[in-house]
Amino acid sequence: MPTSALTRYTKPLAPTRRLVCFPHAGGAASFYRDWRRCAPPEVELIAVQYPGRENRVREPLVATMEELATALAEELLALPPLPTVFFGHSMGAAVAHETLLRVERSGATHVTRLCVSGRAPRRSPRTSARTDEEVVAAVLALGGTHATVFEDPELRELLLPIIANDYRLIDAYRPAAGTPLLRAAVHALTGADDPQVTPEEAGQWRAVTSGRFALTVLDGDHFYLVPEAERVARAALDPELHLPV
């Protein structure tokens, strides 16, 4: 039986709100572990664990966005409904968006906000798959993994297939034509010096919702949210965040 995709980092006895976090390519649920320090006592903090890593290491990797988002939506819809925010960084922003589309398609209305970080809503297509060396170069260019990880043969053998699979998945992903607008509000966040997305491109998330939209630009590069973890987590968790129309 597959392990749950949902890792709970806080377990309130009577939660009143929920934050669900989606990792970047090659990332894992543990990327969001420390956010529990910022969570109010009534908030249930959940991080998504994609197959093939950490406690799901023995499960096969998922090859398509359709398969991944559909499975996550089904598991999330099985939870007791609470006012919920989705937060996704980089690849996780696209996964969170696609998952929310499926949640809303089911008729559920309890996900009230989508926070998308470090990614534009649409990307130029790649015409060929990346080689292993191109994957390593892409990861290092974004600062996500230190070079010594790939210099260690055992770590490289363990991590590279996971990261390469995620890059294939997100490189092949294209939002479907005619995708409906979200009802949930959208808050886009990005680093001012992110080489992967400009603030203007992050602002294009405004077009995916019929609800409210906000854009926040913080100092830093693609992984701006690591040094700014507390500020970003509190923004996602803040029920009083007033988003301009």
As beta bridge partners, residue 19 has 45, 85
21 phi, psi to nearest 5 deg:
-110, 135
Cα four-point dihedral sign 207, 208, 211, 212: negative
Question: How far apart, in whole angstroms, are the C-alpha atoms of residue 195 and residue 80?
Answer: 39
DSSP code per residue over 92-154: HHHHHHHHHHHHHHTT---EEEEEEES--SS-PPPSSPPPHHHHHHHHHHHTSS-HHHHHSHH
Contact 57, 3 (CB under 8 A): no
Contact 142, 196 (CB under 8 A): yes
Q: How far is CA 127 from the centre of its chain?
A: 24
Both structure tokens of 89: 């960084």
Q: According to the 3-state scheme, what is the secondary structure of 152-167?
A: CHHHHHHHHHHHHHHH
Residues marked active site are found at 90
Note the residue count of the chain: 245
Angle (CA) 101-104-105 rounded to 5° is 80
Both structure tokens of 94: 């696209």
